[in-house]
Structure 1
Amino acid sequence: MTTVAPAFAERYLLSPDLVAEPYGYLNALRAHAPVHWSPMHHAWLVTGYDQVMRCLRDPAVSADRVRPLMDAVPQGARADAERAFGILSRWMVFNDPPHHRRLRQVFQEAFAARAVARYRAFTEKATAAVLARRASPGRTGDLMADVAKPLPALVFARWLGIPRTDAPSFWYWNARVADLVLGTAQEESEYRASLQALVSLEDYLADLVARRRAEPADDLISQVLREGRVGDSVTEEEFVGMLTQMAFAGGETTSNLIANTVLALHARPVQLAAVREDLGLVQGTVEEALRLDGPSKMSIRTAARDLGLDGHTLRAGDRIFLVTAAANRDPARFEDPDRFDVRRTGATHLGFGFGAHFCIGAALARLVAVAAVETLVRDHPGLTVADPDRLTWQPSLLNRSLTALPVRY
């Protein structure tokens, strides 16, 4: 008797159970078809490692998705949108070569690993201060609110040169911008708040750039201004627009990376014990968390022109979901891909993207995440995750983000 394999049944990626645990379904989707047209999502879902890499390299696959974001804004909020989407159009993450390369080069030196390493001592000091204030042994708390969010905020504010007195407004604007860019804004009032926050953030950063021209300091803005590219290879308006991207991107990604790494370790006592015994494994632990359960599930692209991929024709204008969360578990690329292994070596994960759009802030995100995880493992041996089966995740196509991480320190 012949056994017929059950037909693959497509599912909505924001179904509550897939928000909580997407990987079993993504593995099944990749095994069914690593390039799959989804009528449900009106997009191609690309889940195979080699296929995602092909898209990341192909100039026919465009990163420009400002128009789809604008199309999602309710009609009643459109009057507020023109300037805000003008700002987004200057984000290098939404630009293709050659404009992307021109914009990125302005920040290349400031984001280099050797430049970021100057902030190691400050990061370690900030980590100790945050944990001493919020994570005393025996106390219960939310590791997201106590550590994962405030620590990157402290480091990124110091790196950008945000005065401490301005930090509350600065981070409020960032949170509202995230609602817009990550698609969590739903109501018209939420869209209005997000659009206004982006405008306010640009106004604030433009003023800060003017202040740093008059009085340079030891921060990112001053460094880039000293290098002389602003007003030469990019306009001041482009520079300020890109600073809004830097402000938005750094804190969110790093916060989720810290929380996801801690959760991954504490769900696997044997791996945690290995890291506790050898803190030299912390760097590899963070890399493995980026691969297995990283802060980004996918990136959205558009076909700029017709292209062939795995025997399919993707038409100009088609949306493409590059599902790195699935590609990073592709058995064709990674041995035992669903296993969390702090000693894993070999194939390169796509947790920070690849090629032209490789995350420019990766070195700083790694610096902060490693400092946080190492300090928690070393100084908080009694740390436990409370009610791990009741954790909830933000409903987002793009981000893998816990709503909270209840712990006992």
Structure 2
Amino acid sequence: MTAAAPAFTERYLLSPEMIADPYGHLDALREHAPVHWSPMHHAWLVTGYDQVMHCLREPAVSADRVGPLMDAVPQGAREDAERAFGILSRWMVFNDPPHHRRLRQVFQEAFAARAVARYRAFTEKATSAVLARRAVPGRTGDLMADVAKPLPAFVFARWLGIPRADAAAFWYWNARVADLVLGTAQEESEYRACLQALVSLEDYLAGLVARRRAEPGEDLISQVLSEGRVGESVTEEEFVGMLTQMAFAGGETTSNLIANTVLALHTRPEQLAAVREDPELAQGAVEETLRLDGPSKMSIRTAARDLDLEGHRLRAGDRLFLVTAAANRDPGRFAAPGRFDVRRTGATHLGFGFGAHFCIGAALARLVAVAAVGTLVREHPDLALADPARLTWQPSLLNRSLTALPVHY
């Protein structure tokens, strides 16, 4: 008689143990059912690679998350939320075709790989400068605070055209917007601060757009304005709203990608040695991190209408968690999926999404992350993790972010 398979026990994805290491449970969930209704999360958990890909292609699966985000705001903060959520409604990441396509086309040329590549020399110079100032050999520090956060912020602020005198306020607003969008704001006072930060960020960027119209520079805003689509295919209000999305996304993802890659390499000596022997493999290390332990664990979608998925009937309004952190470890798609291999080739990971909503900033994130990781490996051979057993992660359903990465430089 064949032994019965052990029953699958669902676990809360925001519990401390799941925040620390969700992957064993996600693997078990994917094996149990790649499409699974979770009463605990009030959502369909989609964990198989093919199933996630299907959802990313399916027009009936909507990216509009403004309503659910609004629902999460405490009652006492609702009166402050109307304008802030109006701004979020203009983010292309929360829009479906054809509006998404119309909004995205405004930035398509500026974010193309060939356009981003023009910033390679500046990024490499900025990386060396940040490391020389903050990663002093012999010193103990926090690589998140010293390198992973300030470097993408510096590069992106320069690219967006943020004057240095405005940088502190700009990045404060971005941090609060991240708390709102990623669901880490809990108390009513935190929500109020986040909502106000988003409004302040939009006001600031509207003023910056006006200045760049009058005095163009060599920056993203000036480039897009010069192409003539603002005021034609999109309104200026839509353009400024999308800039708040760019500002939010410009630092968070890349910071976490840098830190997670450094952690992955320094807990796998043979892979670190491979990158030291061949610095070109820094690119492979970044790609493997995006697959195996990337900055995004999932994206949230909603069924716009009734649909069938893997024999399940989804109803209009149902939430879907597209768990790319599980899909990227699907053994049906990746050989030895739990192994970190900087020389891996083959199947495409979903670390930056896929299709219409593929991350528009992927080329810039890769440029900055590869520069940071490659320079650290090449110029800081004595870098070591200070206390890898005691690392902690931010409590978030969506992102995979260390609270700190203590190191010996």
- Normalised by the length of structure 1, the TM-score is 1.00
Identity among equivalent pairs (%): 88
1:280-299 correspondence runs (5 A): 280-299=280-299
Q: Deviations over 1:115-167 (max 9, x none)?
A: 00111111011100100000011110000000000000000000000000000
Aligned to 1:360: 360
Aligned to 2:47: 47
> What's the CA shift for 1:386?
1.2
Aligned to 2:121: 121
Q: Deviations over 1:268-327 (max 9, x none)?
A: 000100110001111111001100000000000000011111110111000000000000
- Alpha-carbon separation, structure 2, partners of 1:76 and 1:136: 47
Aligned to 2:235: 235
Aligned to 1:394: 394
Q: Deviations over 1:61-100 (max 9, x none)?
A: 0000100000111111111000000000000000000000
Aligned to 2:27: 27
Aligned to 1:167: 167
Q: Structure 1: which amino acid aligns with 2:304? A: A
Q: Structure 2: which amino acid aligns with 1:349? A: H
1:2-401 correspondence runs (5 A): 2-401=2-401
> What's the CA shift for 1:255?
0.1
Q: Structure 1: which amino acid aligns with 2:32? A: H
- Alpha-carbon separation, structure 1, partners of 2:35 and 2:346: 25
- Alpha-carbon separation, structure 1, partners of 2:400 and 2:62: 23
SS of 1:212's partner is: helix
> What's the CA shift for 1:2?
4.5
SS of 2:296's partner is: coil
- Alpha-carbon separation, structure 2, partners of 1:2 and 1:242: 57
SS of 2:45's partner is: strand
Q: Structure 2: which amino acid aligns with 1:3? A: A
- Alpha-carbon separation, structure 2, partners of 1:198 and 1:224: 22
Q: Deviations over 1:196-217 (max 9, x none)?
A: 0000000000000000000000
- Alpha-carbon separation, structure 2, partners of 1:152 and 1:365: 8
Q: Deviations over 1:152-193 (max 9, x none)?
A: 000000000000000000000000000100000000000000
- Alpha-carbon separation, structure 1, partners of 2:76 and 2:288: 44
- Alpha-carbon separation, structure 2, partners of 1:201 and 1:393: 27
SS of 2:36's partner is: strand
- Alpha-carbon separation, structure 1, partners of 2:171 and 2:345: 36
Q: Structure 2: which amino acid aligns with 1:62? A: S
Q: Structure 2: which amino acid aligns with 1:9? A: T
- Alpha-carbon separation, structure 2, partners of 1:67 and 1:348: 31
- Alpha-carbon separation, structure 2, partners of 1:5 and 1:105: 50
- Alpha-carbon separation, structure 2, partners of 1:358 and 1:388: 32
Report runs of 4+ in structure 1 exceeding 4 Å deviation: none
- Normalised by the length of structure 2, the TM-score is 1.00
Q: Structure 1: which amino acid aligns with 2:83? A: R
List runs of 5+ in structure 1 lacking aligned partners.
Answer: none
> What's the CA shift for 1:364?
0.2
SS of 1:36's partner is: strand
> What's the CA shift for 1:6?
1.5
SS of 1:106's partner is: helix
- Alpha-carbon separation, structure 1, partners of 2:4 and 2:238: 57
Q: Structure 1: which amino acid aligns with 2:135? A: A
- Alpha-carbon separation, structure 1, partners of 2:26 and 2:381: 34
- Alpha-carbon separation, structure 1, partners of 2:218 and 2:224: 11
Q: How many residues align?
A: 409
Q: Deviations over 1:25-64 (max 9, x none)?
A: 0000000000000000000000000000000000000000
- Alpha-carbon separation, structure 2, partners of 1:3 and 1:230: 64
SS of 1:228's partner is: coil
- Alpha-carbon separation, structure 2, partners of 1:391 and 1:307: 41
- Alpha-carbon separation, structure 1, partners of 2:144 and 2:105: 33
- Alpha-carbon separation, structure 2, partners of 1:91 and 1:270: 42
Q: Structure 1: which amino acid aligns with 2:367? A: L
SS of 1:329's partner is: coil
SS of 1:313's partner is: strand
> What's the CA shift for 1:4?
2.4
Q: Structure 2: which amino acid aligns with 1:322? A: L
- Alpha-carbon separation, structure 2, partners of 1:306 and 1:354: 23
Q: Structure 2: which amino acid aligns with 1:374? A: G
> What's the CA shift for 1:374?
0.3
Compute the RMSD of aligned alpha carbons. 0.6
